[in-house]
Structure 1
Amino acid sequence: MDHKSRIMHAIQRLPVDRIPCAELVINDALVQEFCGKVTVGFEHRLYFIQTMGLDAMCLHPCGMNPGGGSPTLPDNLVFNDLEAWTRTGHFIFAVLDGPIGWGTKTLGYNQMLSKLMRSSPDMTDLVSAVDVLNAETIHRLAANGVNGIIIADDIAFTNGVIARPNILRQLLFPSFSRSVEQAKKENLFTFFHSDGNLMAVLDDIVAAGFDGLQCLESIAGMDIALIKKHYGHKLCLWGNLDPGELCLVRSRNELMEKVHGIINVAGNDSGLIFGTSSGLFEGMRLESLKCVYEFVQQGLN
């Protein structure tokens, strides 16, 4: 089974030859450490994910710094090396901010949160602008060969969502649904990403039409076994490995237990993409990274 098929089968909860692996972020400093003191380019990032056995690549936009005001689609919107990535055979995700991300960029986090809590008309206008921006961006990305969209909006803290669920349902989830609808028109798969504890709005994530959920932060109480039990028939689950396990000294057996634990409770009937809850960053131990992906590829499920 090739990389793209493996991810597609997992998303649709179809049989896979092994659990696929992917990461939301791969920091260039870590790639540089892996490849040697080089100026990191496409070939180095590709070598890194090939060596680690990752099945997907997540591309993040450049040239979308709003500089204040309402978000608009810039002429110089770039997803670096997009054309080259679509030729690799890997599943390609593009990551887009939602209203919380854009609100933080344009207003600052505290002001954005205040407007959200008060259901301010300014927040409603921002959401509408983000809807237009993301719809057009999704259309462009589909035309350029991406396979999936991740709407990344951090709507939760460690102890729960950032505002009353009813506020999120009124202001944010209709926007998420519209992005999902646009992506489905373009035959793209969609995931939602947020750090924190999302237990209060998992039903809303499902109702918005997402194919999967990325992050599943274990230290925030996102119990992947419980979520798999109640939502695994509707959502592909991606992540859950605590990144701290890759920063601290761990034996091969300790790492194997972590990998085995996630796969056993969430991956036996497909519907799982293995990875960390955060992505990969400098400070992680390369030997530990190699170990965890090796264990997945050996089929510990």
Structure 2
Amino acid sequence: MTHIERVRVALAGGRPDRVPRGEFALEPGLVAALVRREKAGTAAGAGDLSSSWRTDAAFPGHTTRRNPGASFQSEIAARELLGMDLLAVTPAAPVAEQGSDSYQDAWGCRYTNRGKLKVFLAPAIPDIGAAAGYTLPDPASFDLQAIRRWREETDFFVLAFVDGPFQGTGRLFDFTEFLLAAAAREGVIKELAAAVADFNLELARLCRQAGAHGIIIGDDIAYDRGTYIRPDLWRELFLPLLRCQVEGLKEMDLPVLYHSDGNLQAVLPDLAGLPLDGLQGLEPAAGMDIGAVKREYGEKLCLMGNFDLDLLVTGNPDTITAAVHSLLDVAAPGGGYIFSTACGILHASLPPENVLALYRAVDEYGRYQ
């Protein structure tokens, strides 16, 4: 099977030739470390670190066309080394205003750079009173070249990230003020959230035209103890808009995953009632038991994630391998599962030997009997 075929089968609830796997993003520092290790191993006579993985059915037909661009090619190499099938690309928002020490993005949020850190300075909407006059950016102004390049030059399954109505509205405010306004049922919040859902539906349409195979709706509605606002309030203000957004994406014939960190137990029935193809995240530190979720919703949703990123920091290859085995024992049977960490992002600070151990263990245990 190709990467694309493998992911599509899993998203449809089926059982591909092996468990699909991948992370949405790899930070450049980790990419560089993985590529250096591979080159060093080859130079020392140890051979390609991924050579044992590429002798099986996971890689036939891989037709990556390599063009100039060192960082792009390095990320391809790192993803191939780990045997990944997919990635996700966030449409690049243009910079609306550039100052000497700060800049304003297309949304109107102001940031500054301190070394390698992007530091938030001010929200797009300073207070609830200013929300009625706010205008969303033009979706056509967003840069989709990265989606085109991954689609045209590789054979990975390419997901495009767009916001959901909760996250997309909350990003415009000081988050505490947003939560208080939602709790007070300020009418402007629902109006703005409706505009955000429409905006992201149009942005997703453009992502599809650029070559995205599927969409992931990023909509962090929860923390480790539950949803940020009461579940009944979320159902009232945001769930109908989320349904419209998902239904619009399905009309475009796109598979759709939903991502949120945190504990989603109270709203899982609501999410399962949407025409979603999958649910990504399932954060174990927030009490998300993937075995229980699969038993209850595995016939409806493809599940993706659930590996605890913290274990990549604190663990070692042996503990990581054991954790992968335990996860796949409950998540993989029957299909309808895609392996990833819960957050879907591998940071530059992670020990590369642990990342390699993680994906070697997935390759070993992610085989159907």
TM-score tier by shorter-chain length is over 0.9
TM-score, normalization: structure 2? Answer: 0.77
Q: 1:224 aligns with which of 274, 290, 293?
A: 290
- Partner residue of 2:149? 84
The answer to whether 1:257 aligns with 2:287 is no
- Give the distance between the partners of 1:213 and 1:284, measured in 2 at CA: 25
Match of 1:44 in 2: 74
Partners of 2:201 and 2:248 within 8 A in 1: yes
- Of 90-99 and 101-110, deviating more is 101-110
2:217 pairs with 1:187 = no
The alpha-carbon deviation at position 237 of structure 1 amounts to: 0.7
Residues 192, 210 of structure 1: 8 Å contact kept: yes
Question: Counterpart in 1 of 2:87?
Answer: 57
1:276 partner SS: coil
Match of 1:34 in 2: 34
The alignment-based identity, stated in percent, is 31
1 CA distance for matches of 2:269 and 2:140?
37
- Give the Å deviation of 1:157: 1.1
Shift of 1:291: 1.4
* Amino acid across the alignment from 1:181: E
Aligned residues of 1:196 and 1:220 also touching (Cα < 8 A): yes
Among candidates 176, 179, 201, match of residue 110 of structure 1: 176
Aligned residue in 1 for 2:237:
171
1:23 match: 23
AA of the residue aligned to 1:210: L
CA distance in 1, matches of 2:202, 2:281: 26
Structure 2 spans left out of the alignment, 5+ residues: 37-68, 95-104, 109-123, 125-133
Which 4+ runs in 1 deviate beyond 2 A? Answer: 32-36, 68-76, 99-105, 298-301
Correspondence 1:143 to 2:209:
yes
Task: Verify the 8 A CA contact 2:198 2:245 in the aligned structure 1.
Answer: no
Q: Distance in 2 between matches of 1:25 and 1:84?
A: 15
Tell me, in whole angstroms, the C-alpha distance in 2 between the residues paired with 1:158 and 1:80: 35
Check conservation: 2:301, 2:336, Cα contact below 8 A.
yes
State the number of aligned residues.
298
In 1, distance between residues paired with 2:329 and 2:245?
32
Output the TM-score relative to the length of structure 1: 0.94
Task: Tell me the SS of whatever aligns to 1:241.
Answer: coil
> 2:75, 2:240 → 1: CA distance?
36
Q: Who is 1:133 aligned against?
A: 199
Give CA deviations for 1:107-163 in whole Å, capped at 9, x if unaligned: 121111111112211111111111221121121111222111111111011011111
Q: Which runs of 5+ in 1 are unaligned?
A: none
CA change 1:190–1:261 in 2 (3 A) is same
Deviations 1:52-100 (A, max 9, x none): 1110010012116300234332443013521121131111100111223
